[in-house]
Structure 1
Amino acid sequence: MSDAFTEATSRRAVLARLTGLTGGAFALPTVASVASSLLASCGGRDGDDALVVYTSLDEVVAREELALFAGTTGSNCGVAARYDTEAMKTTGLANLLRAERDAPRADVFWSSEQFQMSALASEGVLARLPDALLANWPKPWQDTNGRWIALNARARVLCFDSRKVDALGAPQLWSAFAAVEYPAGIVIADPRFGSTRGHFAAMRQVYEHAEPGLFARMLAGLKRSHTRLLPGGNAAVVDAVLRGEAQFGFTDTDDVITAMQAGKPIGFTLPRHFNEGIAGGGTMLIPSTLGIIEGTARRACAEQCVEFLSSPVAEVRSAQSSLHTLPLGYGVRYGPAWRENDPLRFDLAAAVANADAAAAEVHDALAGHA
């Protein structure tokens, strides 16, 4: 993907504003705490010959996909996987990859977002992907230097209790929180991790470019609305809204749609960052990303794994899974029950460079309500 998210594929041009479906301070994680997580076998050969995949995707979904890969390739490519926690998500594994850079243990990084992957690429942690794969992947959804590809996108959404809030009455712009106070409260996951971190980094970048001071005004508005930061990730945001602890929650499509399909009275909208008519002003997409670790001794298996996970069949499985993702590769016609035809365009490299500052600014402004 280019380091500016400046395009959306033409086959995404279907507008959807899905409003319903059926059916204090936190301790920073350490590299050691991530390293102690389970390295689980997914089939095939174990031990030193097994391909090692670090992934921050939902463990159930990732485990099933990697088992399918191991079963397809048989004894040639056994797989062992290291998973991350809901609260830490990609941040913990990215730091582990940095710590292991001189003696890498992982061969493939399968991330649940694009920000840490872009940072790792710029730091030289990732190798270039096969030219044949890059040639057959949409340019807007790959690194300009060919070190990673983006696929299986989720979206940032605003959730609410559908018994109490009508979708048409919910904020239609993220920036609405700068001007309107919501006394019933708002909940957000810890902004130092995961898609919440990336969303605020992108938001800060585009808002400060368009209207200096808007991001700070939004944080001030969120504080007036008694916004609380939750340590449990985006799923905890949905749960808090359902318990009546807040009127609105900032979350992702997968968490809210899973609750909807379980029969929970939750609804959501896809607020824009800028008004209708301003191209590239929609909500933010969060694709998963795939990269091969520089220096891997299992390059052939790593390439096979990336090709398998990015295949059209795998993207369809992801769309049908609990992740409810939007396929980004060529030729995939199946999609989830939501669409964003005009996703947010932002400078990914600039957002990554300022992510720490954005996370600290949000945390400092709102942590007192945790």
Structure 2
Amino acid sequence: MHYKKSGTFLYVFLSVFLCFFSSAHAKQQEVVVYTALDQIFSEPILQEFEKRTNIKVKPVYDIEAVKTTGLVNRLIAEKSNPRCDVFWNNEIVRTIALKRKGILTPYQSPSAADIPASFKDKENYWTGFAARARVLVVNTNLVKPEDYPTSVEDLANTQWQGKAAMANPLFGTTSTHVAALFATLGPEQTTRFLKQILANTTHIVDGNSVVRDMTASGEVPFGITDTDDVNVGIISGMPITAVFPDQAGKGTLLIPNTVSLVANSPNPEAGRKLIDFLLSKEVEAKLAASESAQIPVRKDVKTPEGGLAQADIVAMEVDFEKMTDYLDESTKTVQQIFMK
């Protein structure tokens, strides 16, 4: 009798323990996010989401030299067996390219309701938020304000021969910029311009932050990079400033972050929750107030004093779908010109 009671007690104990363990385990969600936004800016946002939701975030960050492209290629390679739930890209054309390859799945986030239609996919495959601008970074010790370069075309101006720097145009936002030029100027004019940049002995380097650092050190008086890189440099005391190019002409290119849900992902429910969080006004405000000084796509998101707002910039008029149409051609052209 004693043994029977003991056995019954043990059975009940184990049953309760297993039920508790299973319940606790079931409540523990996780989400895998691939992000091309610099870790220093994206990590605090992801940590805040994890803290609020108790959903374990497993981030995979990009590296500077192959910005964006590395994660895009990984997503393509994993198409038949997705490991990522959410793709947080720091640009847009390769996100659209992933949609066209069947890598993404639609999700209409309630957080995106007040995001302008121009920053949303009509079929809800991606949503844009928190933009950066492509700017000229200038060394303030080497160049007087009246002599600042004012146009992207100054990269090919013989006045600046051998005195400018640009990130490898195969990757990151520089690649996006080339696609934008193909879409707005046309392939012929853009190809000619790229050849002129190379002929002007412009330094081609491994990333936008390298462009900034070369400019700050005086190795070159100016270069082309993104607003976040310049702002971080200014905060750290570098003798640099940002010039928004072509404000009297075609305007400055704005490139939004984009977020999308991966098709057949392992944790779609958690993925949708993360997307809702990333597309909130709060996150746009946080990115605007951070050292990256990102530009809200919503007009009613307040920026800090000295921060950047769309209203302050003459933006280049672009068609993101058309830019993506030209992506393969622009990439091949860059390879032919710069990778000989």
Q: Same fold (TM over 0.5)?
A: yes
1:87 aligns with 2:65: yes
Query: TM-score by structure 2 length?
Result: 0.85
- Is 1:301 aligned to 2:270, yes or no? yes
Structure with greater helix percent: 2
- Amino acid paired to 2:194: L
8 A contact 2:111–2:280 mirrored in 1: no
Deviation at 1:71, TM superposition (A): 1.0
| 2:37 counterpart (32, 57, 75) | 57
Unaligned runs of 5+ in 2: 1-23
C-alpha spacing 1:251/1:194, structure 2 compared with 1 (3 Å)? same
CA offsets, 1:56-92, max 9 Å, x none?
1111222211111111112xx2211111101112111
Kindly indicate whether residue 189 of structure 2 is the aligned counterpart of residue 217 of structure 1: no
Tell me the CA shift for residue 183 of structure 1: 2.6
1:147 aligned to 115, 118, 125, which one?
125
What's the CA shift for 1:180? 4.2
Conservation of the 8 A alpha-carbon contact between 1:149 and 1:291: yes
Q: Secondary structure of 1:192's partner?
A: coil
Mapping 1:1-370, distance limit 5 Å: 49-74=29-54, 77-130=55-108, 132-178=110-156, 180-208=158-186, 213-231=188-206, 233-272=207-246, 276=248, 281-329=250-298, 331-334=300-303, 337-339=307-309, 340-366=312-338
The answer on whether the counterparts of 2:72 and 2:94 sit within 8 Å (CA) in structure 1 is: yes
| Farther off after superposition, 177-186 or 135-144 | 177-186
Aligned partner of 1:26 in structure 2 is none
Q: 1:307, 1:295 → 2: CA distance?
A: 18
* Residues 287-338 of structure 1 deviation map (CA, whole Å, 9 limit, x = unaligned): 1111011112422211111111111111111112121101113631225623
CA distance in 2, matches of 1:321, 1:134: 21
**Residues 85 and 179 of structure 1: is their aligned pair in 2 closer, same or farther, counting only changes over 3 Å?**
closer
| Shift in alpha-carbon separation, 1:240–1:179, aligned structure 2, 3 A | closer
Asked whether the 8 Å contact 1:136–1:330 carries over to 2, the reply is no
Residues 1:45 and 1:207: Cα distance change in structure 2 (over 3 Å)? farther
Tell me the amino acid that sits aligned with residue 267 of structure 2.
R
Q: Which runs of 5+ in 1 are unaligned?
A: 1-43
| Cα pair distance change 1:131/1:63, threshold 3 Å | closer
Identity %: 30
Q: Assess, with a 3 A threshold, how the Cα gap between structure 1 residues 181 and 219 changes in structure 2: closer, same or farther.
A: farther
Native 8 Å contact 1:141 1:151 kept in 2: yes
In the alignment, is the contact (CA less than 8 A) between 1:178 and 1:217 conserved in 2? no
If the length of structure 1 is used for normalisation, what is the TM-score?
A: 0.78
Secondary structure of 1:61's match? helix
- Whether the 8 Å CA contact 1:188–1:234 is kept in 2: the answer is yes
CA distance in 2 between partners of 1:131 and 1:263 (Å)? 39
CA displacement at 1:367 relative to structure 2 = 5.0
Residue 72 of structure 1: SS of its match in structure 2? helix
Q: Counterparts of 1:149 and 1:354 in 2: how far apart (Å)? A: 21
Residues 208-237 of structure 1: CA deviation (Å, up to 9, x unaligned): 2xxx74323322332332112112x10000
Distance 1:287 1:229, change over 3 A: same
Letter in 1 for 2:294: T
Q: Which has the larger displacement, 291-300 or 92-101?
A: 291-300
The alignment partner of 1:87 has SS state of: helix
Aligned residue in 1 for 2:12: none
Matched AA of 1:337: G
What is the number of equivalent residue pairs in this alignment? 314
Asked if structure 2 preserves the Cα contact closer than 8 Å seen for 1:178 and 1:214, the reply is no
